[in-house]
Amino acid sequence: MNDLARNFEVYESVGGAVVRPVLRHLPSISVIGLGYVGAVSTACLAKLGHAVVGCDVDEIKAGQIARGESPIHEKDLGDLLSLGVEAGLVSATTEVADAVADSDMTFVSVGTPTSPDGGCDYRYVISAAREIGKGIARKEAYHLVVMRCSIPPGTTLNVMVPEIEAASGLKMGEDFGVCFNPEFLREGTAIADFDNPPKTVIGANDEHAAKMLANVYAPVDPEAIVTSIEVAEMVKYVDNVWHATKVSFGNEVGRICKPIGIDSHKVMDIFVQDTQLNLSPYYLKPGFAYGGSCLPKEVRAVAHLADKLGVSTPLIESLGVTNAQQIQSAVDMLREEGSERVGFLGLAFKSGTDDLRESPVLEVVNAMLSDGRDVRAWDPAINAETRISNQFDYVRHIYPHLEPVVDALPTMLSSSPLAVLDQADVVVVTQSTEAIRKAVAARLGRARIIDLVRLFPEVPDADGYTGIGW
């Protein structure tokens, strides 16, 4: 027996002795849409021991699956489908509502093409939802619907669920459950990715639905990440946009390296060996703009080098633009507050240093001073004796507009974070330190806080608190 066939032998063990095959106690699954994701899901779910019926309005696709043939070119998929059919676990139909009515849960993997306006075309999602509604209307038992398509956040609850409810007369959370379960299958290695997923994300609004789906994936990933449906929807988009960003960044590095005779692959081979910063969660949490003596000037330097070489690097060139926009967002938030007394907790570009060179905070401070606001600030590393003007010689030719900040900074310094919180009408948090966290926590609900760094893991439910990206 080969390895693929062995996966279809599912047995129950009692007291260490294998006594009988068990297949039927696992939930049966209908899969709507037999394209790339749907065909792979049908085969792999059957491999886990589920009876799976693939559904597609395309008779050719449905016929291929029913015969154990792969409708796409994908390593091992044809073999798995053939074994699934032989084991009586894989079938296919064009009658979607019938398949839904006869199964315990439904996976939706229909196409979500780009609409003429550049958004998402929901026609196949809506069609699938209506068929699901017709199917579950014929059932008495709870049914789980698992959405796997790439869709904008809010689509599952605002587009799909209303269609299911309208077609069935049933209520989500009572008669049926809904999850969003993004797939991370790479073409060419999809079977291996299903068996060894980088992560399993389950978006659910009720515990029963989440548990049902987690049990399905337990053989390949017993530690599924459970979150809200909207977060799970966004995760899929973020993953793919990040992958596109990585490809584009690597290509721009290559475009710069080639005309100066540097092997870009040798550069990037070294680059990816750093898993503390380069390939890690570091720098990837939304917050305030980057600054300091390195990042701004070296982004400018690389963009300048590319320009001298006649190389187009729109991704690298856009970094300064998007960074400036993040600074402007903080300024806009403060202006919307309209407070005359503004406080800042943190002035240096990061905590643990007195380095004010290209600190994005100072741009916000300067905007407030230009507006005629009364500004107070605290930073544990900065005092009246800090050699501020010397630091600004470094960038004076780039940011001459910050000269007023250099002059005003010594007089705006306060003695403690609590003093700033008590002296200002609204306080901007720019550093995440224990001293700042404790001070803000002590004033939550009483002080107006604009948090640029995410002081608390969970967003405080307190009047007057807002974050820049949450």
Q: Hey, which residues are catalytic here?
A: 294
Nearest to 324 by CA among 299, 352, 306: 299
Q: Which helix (H) or strand (E) holds 166?
A: helix 161-168
Token pair recorded at residue 33: 């849409």
Residue carrying the six token digits 């032998």: 9
C-beta separation of 354 from 382 below 8 A: yes
What SS3 string covers 17-32? Answer: EEEEECCCCCCCEEEE
Residue carrying the six token digits 């269609």: 163
C-alpha radius of gyration, the chain, whole number: 28
Alpha carbon distance 117, 309 (integer Å): 36
Alpha carbon distance 337, 328 (integer Å): 14
Alpha carbon distance 197, 219 (integer Å): 11
DSSP state of 260: G
Residue 95 CA to chain centroid, in angstroms?
35
DSSP state of 445: T
Nearest to 217 by CA among 65, 82, 68, 49: 49
C-beta separation of 126 from 96 below 8 A: no
Alpha carbon distance 53, 369 (integer Å): 67
Provide CB contacts within 8 A for 35, sequence distance 6+: 61, 71, 72, 109, 110, 111
Dihedral (CA of 27, 33, 36, 39) sign: positive
